[in-house]
Structure formats: C-alpha cells, structure tokens
Amino acid sequence: MQKKSEFTLQSAQSSGFVRQFERALQQLTGLTFDLLDATDSFHPYAVLHETGFCRLVHQSSAGRRACEHSTCDAVQQCLTTRQAVIKTCHLSLTDVYVPLIVDGLVIGILCSGQFLMSSPTADKYRLLHRRLVALGLDTRKLEREYIRLPVCARERIEALISLLALVNRYVTDARMRLNLLQMSKREDRIKRACEFIEQHLNESLRLLTVAAAVNLSPSRFAHLFRANAGMSFTRYVHVQRLNHAAALLAEIGLPIATVAQSVGFKSQSHFNHLFRRRFGVSPHVYRGRFNIPRSTP
C-alpha cells in the first residue's frame, strides 16, 4: 500500500496550469485529457472528458462497462510498471496513460486519447458496426461521431507522451515551490539553507556543513528542516538534484554520467536508481521522450 503523498491529486487538479493544458490540448488536437485518481480502487476510474462518440457508447450499460474495464486494465498496468501505457479499447480507439509521480509515489494517472491512429472511413466503421449493434447502440448517430474522431498517427504518440511527462514535471515542481513558499513564511534560516543547497548542488552537501552555514546546531537544523520542508535534509537534497538532472536531460544532450556528476551524484548507478524511483523511468528513457540528441565531443 502506497504511503500518502503530501501533495495530493486535488492539489494537482486545482493547478491553473493543468486546466490551461487541458484546454490547449483539446483546441489544438481535439484530444481529451483527464487526471485520474490512481488510489481509489473501489470505484471505476472516472474519465470526465469524452468525445461525442464515446459519450454515445456510454449510453449503453454494456458499452460503459467495456470502456471501464479497458481503462482499469490500463491504469493497473501503469501503476505496476510506473511507465506510460498505450491502450487500444474494444472499439479500436487509442488512449495514452502516464503515471503522475510526486516524491516517488504515483498519486494519479494523466490520461489523453480517444483517438484513431489513421483517418476514419465508412469502410472502417462498417467493421465496427456488428459490435455496436451488439451493445444496443444507435449506429446512425455513432457513424456521424466516428467520422469526427481525432486522429493521432503512431509517430505522434511519443510526442503526446512527452507532453504529458512535462505536465508531470510541472506538477512536481509546483509541489516543491509550495514547500518553499511555506518555508519562507516560517523560518528564514531554513530558506537560506535551501538557497545554500541550490548554489552547491554539485558539491558534497553534508548536514553539518549546511547547518553551520546558517548558524544552527546539526540537531536543531535537522529538526527545523524537516518541520519546514516536510522531508528530511537528505531527501530534499536528492529531490533537488534529481529535478535539476531532469531539466538537463530534457534540454541538452550531455551524457547521462556527466549529468549525474554535474548535480552532485558520484555514483551513476545510485543516480539511475533514485531517478527511476522519482520519475518512473530510467534517465535514458526520460531523455528519449524529448528527442534530445546526444552531444558529441
């Protein structure tokens, strides 16, 4: 059972950025976007935004159950692998699911899709006709909506996954900014400690050193830091280093070993382990989502 994250799914859902992303994605591509609660296994995962085609399918109880079953399978796979899942439903529509990972915990699933991977045609619809009839649906209305379904070719799906990964990164950064804002209101010395950490990420950061920099005893500093930052000193340093590493991997093509060293990790294997735990994928896979070419000497 997962430990509850301090940054909840509701915090992410209330983010203005997430709502703006949802509107922009729909306007530019016609694709739906949902943020699913990955922790509520007692209820079907609630997809709130639907294409006209899916809305009509869900008017049939059999159609709704088949769609819910497909969504549950994809979410469970996403939770198990902690990686993006591409799922084709019982009516040949495709959805993409990306885990929303905050502080190493999956607090939700970013979901987009209800698209076809090639242009809809009357011939393709006829192949679905028997299944739709079996579900007790009005096939004339469904044909009109089928022709209007958005299309996302296979080569563009990785770009969609990259966009969803950026949302994950933004939400993670928002959680950290919220902590910093709370710290600035409570304890100036801890705020200065965070600034010190930021300026010395590529160095060996020890609690004794940072405590001395803000004129606190190690025990008092450790207590104040956890009370204000919501996590231990060591964990905070790891989170900051991993966030900076993720930014470097998404923006420039340095070798992964160089990125690890530049943010203060002496062991690449330790870096790889912590990175996968935080972001759900290896540094290599994470960088591949952004199509960043590796730099050459």
The residue type found at 123 is D
Backbone torsions φ then ψ of 35, nearest 5 degrees? -115, 105
Structure confidence at residue 295 as a pLDDT band (50, 70, 90): very low
Question: What are φ and ψ of residue 45, in 5° steps?
Answer: -65, 120
Domains annotated on the chain, with CATH: 9-169 (3.30.450), 187-288 (1.10.10.60)
Residue-wise pLDDT tens digits, 17-42:
777 888 888 888 889 888 888 766 54
- Quote the tokens at residue 43: 């209820």
Amino acid at 78: C
What six digits make up the tokens of 176? 């950290």
pLDDT number for residue 222: 93
What are the two backbone dihedrals, phi and then psi, of residue 170, each rounded to the nearest 5 degrees? -65, -45
Distance between CA 238 and CA 271 in Å, rounded? Answer: 9
pTM of the model: 0.65
Could you give the CA distance from residue 183 to residue 292 in angstroms, rounded to a whole number? 35
Half-sphere exposure of residue 38: CA atoms within 13 angstroms, side-chain side: 30
pLDDT at 4: 42
Q: Tell me how far apart the alpha carbons of residues 244 and 248 are, in angstroms, rounded to a whole number.
A: 6
Residue 32 backbone dihedrals phi, psi, to 5 degrees:
-80, 165
